[in-house]
Amino acid sequence: MVGIAGTGIVGITGWSTYVPRLRLDRRLINQAWGTAQLAGTRAVANYDEDALTMATEAVRALLGENGGSVRGLYFASASAPYWEKQIAAVIATACDLPRRLFTADYSGSARAGTAALIAALRAAQAGAADDAVVAAADVRVGSPESELEGLLGDAAAAVRVGTEQVAAEFIDAESIAEEFTYLWRIDSDRYVQAQPGRFSSQFGYARDLSEAIGALLERNRLSPKDISKLALYSPDARAASDLAKSMGFDPKTQLTPSLVPTIGCAGSAEAFLQLAAVLEGAKPGDWVIVGSFGEGADALLFRVTDAIAQAQPASRLREWIDAGVPLASYERYLKFRRIVEGDEPTEAIANVLEFKELKQDVRLYGSRCRSCGMVQFPIARVCLKCRGRELEDHRLARRGGVFTFTVDHLIANIEHPLIMSVIDLDGGGRIYLQTTDVAADAVQVGTRVTLTFRRLHEGGGNHNYFWKARPVRVRGDA
Amino acid sequence: MKDRVAVVGVGCTKFGDLFDKSYEDLICDAAFAAYDDAKIDPQEINASYLGTYLPGPNGGKAAVSLGDALRLYDRPITRVENYCATGTDAFRNGCLAIESGAADIVLVLGAEKLKDRGGRGLPRLGHPLLAKGNSAPGLFALAANRYMHTFGMGRETLAKVAVKNHFNGARNPKAHLQMEVTEEQVLKAPMIASPFGLFDCCPTTDGAAAAILCRADLAKRFRDDFILVKGYGLAVTTGRPYFDPTFDYLGFRSTQMAAQQAYKMAGIEASDIDFAEVHDCFTWTEISNTEDLGFCKKGEGGRLVDEGRTRLDGDIPINPSGGLKSFGHPIGASGVRMIYECVEQLRGQCGERQVRAPELGLAHNVGGPGAVSCVVILGNN
């Protein structure tokens, strides 16, 4: 099924994952409400994280300094921080991608991720875009005390689609469209609702997804035993396993372990996380099926190539999962999601200022002096060191070391205390940033940090994003 | 410009949580105290400088805030704002007016009403993204942590500054915090911004202070024990030191430059100064300032404190008034209040906290942090 205008095969050329640092032990929810929750933990986006910022982490980890050739960016989420404002364009700008770029947001259900992936793959097959990134992220919130609250988990992942160095060749895809209300959220509500139980998984999830997978197998003359691994979205801890068994797959060997015990059900990102887990252990020749559900189902078929070894990401999903640390209390989770009001600073950012300083504040450029070489931030008109006027725009490195810091207990913030750090960036330039994802006693002079795009504060009816620093968490952390 | 301007009257309100006083009340209390001290008819004043950092809903905006409070009309009044150096810079501008011949008699008044704002400390200002999350203690703490990392100084030395300044402030009826503290209390106090605990920080304070300046040859008309302006200096460096890769965070160049200007004008060296009112918004700031002002070498300020040399009975008493730490820091008022203390010390009127027969006193502010510093040297002969 090689694309009409394509010269070679089309498929996955790279991937990355991002799991936020904090884990909420579900026993804390039990203690708060006396309700029965699943065992294990769920990943919790920090108070300054949302689907936009986590997707940005995943895209940056995938592209690094190498985003220049990307021609498309798709963002998929069921919990985007805006109803009207395109998230993909914000991510592209924060990742300093070129302006000449196709961007689109996909939303509405956990199937948004695979929908975007299919669109990117079909576009590449058609020769329309030979290099694109699909990022999926979700920070879904179940109402306090509900089972869903503990089941859902926050995470992001990104998949790069292209025609060069293809690690998993795209063979075929099948989709089913059907109205079936399983997980939903009406436009005026913040909490996801679910119709739980066997009825939903059997007549919604299992019926639609097995129909898609079955059609995919049949058309490609494959049987379940030919498939090396399934990478399936699962709305609960066992639905994917039940589905696999009912279709004649062996859940033990053909299904990657559920993420529910560690991360939780990660919405749009879940099928991508499962795919990452599969590809991180795949061998050339492996057949992989990716499947996802939501008002119908998507199933995609891939064949792993020899390029799989070179395509492995700098940091693997397992490392992100293992790098989690416990959230101190359930009440903090309520604050992080603004269910309980925190000490939140609000400040509006004028649209004109945002427009004027986009390169500096979002793309994160400073200046470099052509005379003396000094790299400086913010963008300067006269050199700080030699007072020369020959300055050029300079892309700042996203990593550095702490020159000095303070742990501030006074300043208004949802999370206390607030750590502020002065960071000498690799390759020059110094920046002063809020420091996040870190215990109060963990920052010292010399601590290595990576910069991360976060929700800085609210104001003017807007989310205001800016860079923060966070300690390097895993190998290859961008 | 040495010896061309005299201070013939000073006034100062009680500093503190002045919830029952308005901005206008503070201006009037300070100004009339200074009028009485100089025994001057206010109508003789040719020009005025009002120092206020934060314009509030009830005053501190422009010249009219002073003019309307004192009904001082039909003459030039200028509002001065220069971060925490606002008060000393207002005084410096008063000197310039007299030295230029534009005025013979000038009123300099610093006033600040911080307690009417509620909330914590100072309001958030500036760019909506860059440097967000900074607080006044947090900014100075950045420097303190780097300094302590570099020179290996501990929090015990910081605590000694607080103990000393509270001791002095307890002997000053106008000070905001008139109680002594122990080193242990300082070290065990709640953290504000590491390494600063509660007692490492100056309080948020209301207050006002005033000075009447005149041409030195007219001073005898008002009093015999007038005080002469020996020198002053002001220098500006970046207001964003945290974005400056060349900044070492071990002290403030603006203070070093302003002090050099003032010493040069006065024709003296740092060692000639008998006592100093130094900007101790935080305990570390006092230590670093004593170095930047040249009272010791860089890195030795902590030893000066540990050896007790900055106490009232030391060889270089620092902040005999109690300093910002104990007297309080209503930003625009502080510099003028320091000049008030210098004048009283040089006149020998300070009672229990009087330093030994001083001839030269120095007042210094730094704000920003480090963005702007102003130094004034006063003498009694």
pLDDT value at residue A345: 85
Q: Enumerate the H helices of A400-470 as residue ranges.
A: none
Same domain, A250 and A359: no
Q: Cis ω on the peptide bond leading into residue A417 (within 30° of 0)?
A: yes
Answer whether residue A231 shows pLDDT above 60: yes
Distances (CA, A) of B327 to A43, B12, B172: 50, 12, 8
Token pair recorded at residue A420: 């502020």
Mutate to test the interface with A, among B125, B148, B243, B248 (most CBs of A within 10 A): B243
Distances (CA, A) of A190 to A88, A186, A195, B36, B173: 22, 8, 17, 66, 57
pLDDT value at residue A6: 44
CB contact under 8 A, B244 and A406: no
Token pair recorded at residue A364: 């994160």
Residue-number span of the structural domain to which A217 is assigned: 11-336
Domain assignment present for residue A344? The answer is: no
Mutate to test the interface with B, among A377, A406, A414 (most CBs of B within 10 A): A406
Token pair recorded at residue A188: 């005026």
pLDDT value at residue A2: 42
Split at pLDDT 50, 70, 90, the class of B125 is confident
- Compute the nearest-CA separation of B300 from chain A (Å): 21
Domain assignment present for residue A4? The answer is: no
Query: Across the interface, which of B128, B240, B245 has its CB nearest the CB of A464?
Result: B128
CB contact under 8 A, B192 and A409: yes
Last residue of a domain, one of A302, A336, A370: A336
Number of helices and strands (H, E) in chain B?
11, 11
User: How confident is the prediction for chain B on average, in pLDDT?
Assistant: 96
* Dihedral angle computed from the Cα positions of residues B217, B218, B223 and B227, in that order, rounded to the nearest 10 degrees: -50
Reference A348, options B242, B54, B132, B121; nearest CA is B132
Same domain, A301 and A362: no
- Of residues A478 and A146, more confidence is placed in A146
CB contact under 8 A, B132 and A429: no
| Average confidence (pLDDT) over B204-232 | 98
pLDDT value at residue A3: 40
Q: Does B282 touch chain A (CB under 8 A)?
A: no
Domain count, chain A: 2
* Range of weakest confidence among A34-38, A46-50, A431-435, B196-200: A34-38
For chain A, the C-alpha Rg in angstroms (whole number) is 22
Token pair recorded at residue B381: 């002969």
CB contact under 8 A, B146 and A403: yes
pLDDT digits (tens, 9 = 90+) for B263-316: 999 999 999 999 999 999 999 999 999 999 999 999 999 999 999 999 999 999
d(CA B8, CA B29): 17
CB contact under 8 A, A430 and B130: no
Which helix (DSSP H) or strand (DSSP E) does residue B34 occupy?
helix B23-38
Distances (CA, A) of A435 to A103, A333, A400, A439, B162: 30, 19, 13, 10, 29
Q: Which residue type is seen at A109?
A: S
Domain assignment present for residue A276? The answer is: yes
Token pair recorded at residue A294: 């939501």
Instruction: Strand A131-138: give its sheet, edge to edge.
Output: A102-106, A72-76, A131-138, A155-162, A11-18, A168-177, A296-304, A287-293, A229-232
pLDDT digits (tens, 9 = 90+) for A137-196: 999 999 999 999 999 999 999 999 999 999 999 999 999 999 999 999 999 999 999 988
Q: Please compute, for residue B80, the number of CA atoms within 13 A of its CA located in the half-sphere on the CB side.
A: 29
- Compute the nearest-CA separation of A427 from chain B (Å): 12
Is position B28 annotated as part of the catalytic site? no
Q: Spell out the residues 6+ positions from residue A18 whose beta carbon is closer than 8 angstroms to its own.
A: A54, A57, A58, A61, A137, A155, A156, A157, A320
d(CA B345, CA B356): 9
d(CA A63, CA A16): 9
d(CA A75, CA A81): 12
pLDDT value at residue B260: 98
pLDDT value at residue A389: 96
Mutate to test the interface with B, among A404, A458, A463, A466 (most CBs of B within 10 A): A404
Task: Tell me: ipTM over 0.90.
Answer: yes
Q: Give CA angle at A135 (A304, A84), nearest 5°.
A: 155
CATH code for the domain in which residue A291 is found: 3.40.47.10
For residue B138, list chain A residues with Cβ-Cβ distance below 8 A.
406, 408, 410-411, 420
Which helix (DSSP H) or strand (DSSP E) does residue A330 occupy?
helix A330-336
For residue B240, list chain A residues with Cβ-Cβ distance below 8 A.
378, 432
Domain assignment present for residue A342? The answer is: no
Answer whether residue B203 shows pLDDT above 80: yes
For residue B146, list chain A residues with Cβ-Cβ distance below 8 A.
403-404, 445
Q: Spell out the residues 6+ positions from residue B125 whose beta carbon is closer than 8 angstroms to its own.
A: none
pLDDT value at residue B119: 62
* Contact of B225 with B355, CB cutoff 8 Å: no
Q: Spell out the residues 6+ positions from residue A218 whose beta carbon is closer than 8 angstroms to its own.
A: none
One-character DSSP codes across B61-73: SSHHHHHHHHT--
Domain assignment present for residue A199? The answer is: yes
pTM reported for the whole predicted model: 0.94
Reference A455, options A344, A332, A324; nearest CA is A344
Same domain, A191 and A85: yes
For residue B141, list chain A residues with Cβ-Cβ distance below 8 A.
406, 408
Reference B139, options B240, B278, B237; nearest CA is B240
Same domain, A167 and A315: yes
d(CA B287, CA A69): 54
| DSSP-derived secondary structure letter, A202 | I
Last residue of a domain, one of A336, A366, A400: A336
Token pair recorded at residue B50: 């009002």
Answer whether residue A81 shows pLDDT above 60: yes
Same domain, A319 and A435: no
Q: Does A37 touch chain B (CB under 8 A)?
A: no
Is position B329 annotated as part of the catalytic site? yes
Query: Across the interface, which of B132, B192, B240 has its CB nearest the CB of A434?
Result: B132
CB contact under 8 A, A434 and B133: yes
Say if strands A183-184 and A193-194 run parallel, antiparallel, or are unpaired: antiparallel
pLDDT digits (tens, 9 = 90+) for B336-350: 999 999 999 999 999
Same domain, A153 and A202: yes
* Contact of B319 with B280, CB cutoff 8 Å: yes
Answer whether residue A388 shows pLDDT above 70: yes
Same domain, A312 and A206: yes
d(CA A44, CA A51): 12
Q: Is A225 exposed, middle or buried (0-12, 13-18, 19+ CB in 10 A)?
A: exposed
Domain assignment present for residue A64? The answer is: yes
Q: Give CA angle at A407 (A401, A410), nearest 5°.
A: 145
Is the sign of the CA dihedral A211, A212, A218, A224 positive or negative? negative
Domain assignment present for residue A1? The answer is: no
Domain assignment present for residue A53? The answer is: yes
pLDDT value at residue A333: 97
pLDDT digits (tens, 9 = 90+) for B8-54: 999 999 999 999 999 999 999 999 999 999 999 999 999 999 999 99
Instruction: Strand B77-80: give its sheet, edge to edge.
Output: B77-80, B47-51, B105-112, B207-215, B5-12, B227-236, B372-379, B360-367, B275-277
Same domain, A265 and A318: yes
d(CA A162, CA A10): 6
Same domain, A179 and A52: yes
* Contact of A262 with A150, CB cutoff 8 Å: no
Phi, psi of A115 (to 5 degrees): -60, -45
Residues B222-232 as b/e (b if ≥16 CB within 10 A, e otherwise) read: bbeebbbbbbb
For residue B129, list chain A residues with Cβ-Cβ distance below 8 A.
349, 357, 361, 456, 464, 466
Same domain, A94 and A215: yes
Q: Spell out the residues 6+ positions from residue A361 whose beta carbon is closer than 8 angstroms to its own.
A: A354, A466, B129, B130
| DSSP-derived secondary structure letter, A39 | S
pLDDT value at residue A187: 93
| Average confidence (pLDDT) over A220-247 | 96
Distances (CA, A) of B203 to A243, B15, B186: 66, 10, 14
Say if strands A430-435 and A155-162 run parallel, antiparallel, or are unpaired: unpaired
pLDDT value at residue A4: 43
Last residue of a domain, one of A336, A366, A401: A336
| Average confidence (pLDDT) over B111-131 | 82
Q: Give CA angle at B221 (B345, B172), nearest 5°.
A: 20
Answer whether residue B353 shows pLDDT above 50: yes
Q: Give CA angle at B81 (B75, B86), nearest 5°.
A: 100
Token pair recorded at residue B191: 């953290």
CB contact under 8 A, A384 and B246: yes
Same domain, A124 and A161: yes
- Compute the nearest-CA separation of A367 from chain B (Å): 12
Answer whether residue A9 shows pLDDT above 70: yes
* Contact of B315 with B162, CB cutoff 8 Å: no
Same domain, A296 and A206: yes
